[in-house]
Structure 1
Amino acid sequence: MSPSPPQNPTVAVSPMSMLGVTADTGRREHYGEFYGLREAPEGAGVIVGNCQAESLRIVVDGPATPTVRVPPVHELTAHDVPHLQRLIARASFLAVQPIRDDYHDLPLGTRQLVGLLRPTARAVTVPIVRYTGLYPFQWVIRVPEVTTMPPFVDYLDVRELALAAGLPLPAQLDPAGVRAVAEDSLAELRRREGDLDVAASDLFAQPTFDHMRTVNHPGNPIWLGLGARVLEALGSSAAPTDPGRPILNGVQAPREAWVADAWDLDEEPRDDWSIDGARVPSAEVRAAQGAWYRDNPVYIERAIARLAPLLARWRA
């Protein structure tokens, strides 16, 4: 027989929980207008999408186009849906990324959300921005059979992945190779923009490291450019709001010298990651992720299969 548990076990209690503040209550306060804790501005617009949607909202928000902060679509639950529907039904506009019908078994598809708008409201469809021209070997791949992601950051270095698979790649690409990867990325972005109201692909005509912090975290030049186009599509003459700070910069990837050379950039290379303000040497990240790959052979197999065309090009 197992011993009886102590009658008064010691439990670690955080100072916030002692004040009655939980992660859920903190989240509800952060999205207070969404949850009805605070009154939203009359006719406030709504911007729906992944983590990029909040960045777009920041630059679109202004006196003539007030907005409501909304959780990323992948975080929304069945409990959240009525709150979102209520806001969209009252909104003067909706800006939304491409989202498939019944996303996560919830009525969150682009078409479904646009259908909630009142007749006088405007809808603007916007792209999900991904660009590899500044980080040619960086990728994000999720494998259903593997529930975790590589350590430190969700971004994999294809060179480290290929090494773990016994398919080593060159450490760098020549300028023509960098530009070829960039053009492939832009071709895919242009394809996805084909049915949308605004585009972002041409904003990369002269890319700098300020344009992208990682392959899927655009910087301020992209947000201000995209925000201006959304406002124009809404019929507003207002300029986008410059927040006076870097947007979406919680994670910043290393800046490799050979990439800067390919684009004739004067920006200083940086051989570490910035993760929530902390500097982490790229060698430390590569070593930890390399060990993780070797411990997760299914991930290697699935990721290598998806990257086969790129690997063939880089190893040629």
Structure 2
Amino acid sequence: MEEPTLPTGRQRHYSSFFGAPVPDGLAVVVGNCQAESLRIVIDGPDLPTVRIPPVHELEPDDLPRLDRLLASASLVITQPIRDDYRGLPVGTRQLAARLPAEARLVVVPAVRHRSLHPAQVVVRHPDKPIEDPPLVAYHDLRTIAEALGHARPRLTAAVVAAIAQESTGELRMREERNGAVPISDVFDAPRFPLLRTINHPGNPVWSELARRVRDRAGLGDAVTDPGRELLSSVVAPREGVVIEAWGLDAEPDPHWYVDGRPVHDDEVRAAQLRWYSDNPDLLRLAADRHSSALAVVMSA
């Protein structure tokens, strides 16, 4: 007698995706790690959802399961995704083409903003997509400047404000280009609960975005309180110059928090300077990819 195949950890984590009954009136949320946070707060009695793998983890064998959900969906919420992303037909237009005629598609932006972490950037090497700097998966433009042989720049409140204005403009442009539900205006009044890192928004952002998605889809504005902080595994330091720039009632904190464990920013800086020395190609990529932002920081 053949032994039953036990589910893998991935299949257990995404059990609804891998075979649970599909609820009526389903909403499917597609995108990167941010999509799961939005799914959690938008889920409700009138809008059941199913947890699915982030789009960058989808595999060819997952496509029949994804199509099963799309066929039953009343609403698909997706970040802008290019056609044939990673060789799979999961682009925004490709998803829309596979929806039932009565289903709606709502586009939401991938949220990145530098108002509270102005020197922070993310870099992905095209040949080493999973290779991140040590301790935290974020680069600091000031540390990049140091690694290039310059004195470490010191930010001013005016530079922080200029970076925030540029970041809002970039997000607004992506919203308009993709016809996405706008969220850039919430960063007109920056405060730390809005952003844990430049690409990990806090609960207030997800609640507001969920309300706006529901409004665009013609649904009630009720959103779900997740009962916990979303995307909180990594929290960046709170800098005095940022507090000064926005007049925040907060105390500076030089620590990162990684899965709740404090890591002093000086430790991150030292580890990443060593890493740049050992990985000059990644240093050059980071400097080239963010050359305009680096120039602004170095002008402080």
TM range (shorter): over 0.9
Residue in 2 that maps onto 1:161: 144
Residue in 1 that maps onto 2:56: 74
* SS of residue matched to 1:68: coil
1:226 paired with 2:246, answer no
- Asked whether the 8 Å contact 1:146–1:298 carries over to 2, the reply is no
Aligned residue runs from structure 1 range 201-280, under 5 A? 201-280=184-263
1:309 paired with 2:292, answer yes
Residue in 2 that maps onto 1:7: none
1:177 paired with 2:159, answer yes
Aligned-pair distance for 1:242?
Answer: 1.5
1:47 paired with 2:33, answer no
- Aligned residue pairs, count: 293
Aligned-pair distance for 1:312?
Answer: 2.4
* SS of residue matched to 2:276: helix
* Worse-matched range after superposition: 217-226 or 40-49: 40-49
* Worse-matched range after superposition: 264-273 or 214-223: 264-273
User: How far apart in 2 are the matches of 1:104 and 1:311?
Assistant: 30
Residue in 1 that maps onto 2:102: 120
Aligned residue runs from structure 1 range 109-148, under 5 A? 109-146=91-128, 148=131
Unaligned runs of 5+ in 2: none
* SS of residue matched to 1:181: helix
Residue in 2 that maps onto 1:60: 42
User: How far apart in 1 are the matches of 2:10 and 2:251?
Assistant: 38
Residue in 2 that maps onto 1:300: 283
- Asked whether the 8 Å contact 2:141–2:297 carries over to 1, the reply is no
User: How far apart in 2 are the matches of 1:95 and 1:298?
Assistant: 37
* SS of residue matched to 2:105: strand
Aligned-pair distance for 1:124?
Answer: 0.4
CA 1:284–1:169 in structure 2 vs 1: closer, same or farther (change >3 Å)?
Answer: closer
* Worse-matched range after superposition: 25-34 or 217-226: 25-34
- Asked whether the 8 Å contact 1:61–1:67 carries over to 2, the reply is yes
CA 1:169–1:287 in structure 2 vs 1: closer, same or farther (change >3 Å)?
Answer: closer
CA RMSD of aligned residues (A): 1.4
| TM-score normalised by L of structure 2 | 0.94
Aligned-pair distance for 1:145?
Answer: 4.3
User: How far apart in 1 are the matches of 2:210 and 2:13?
Assistant: 23
- Asked whether the 8 Å contact 2:109–2:174 carries over to 1, the reply is yes
User: How far apart in 2 are the matches of 1:57 and 1:139?
Assistant: 26
* Worse-matched range after superposition: 92-101 or 161-170: 161-170
Look up the equivalent residue of 1:47 and give its one-letter code.
V
* Worse-matched range after superposition: 238-247 or 121-130: 238-247
| TM-score normalised by L of structure 1 | 0.89
Q: Deviations over 1:248-268 (max 9, x none)?
A: 111101111111111001122
Q: Deviations over 1:248-303 (max 9, x none)?
A: 11110111111111100112221111111211111111111110011001111122
Please identify the structure whose Cα radius of gyration is greater.
Answer: 1
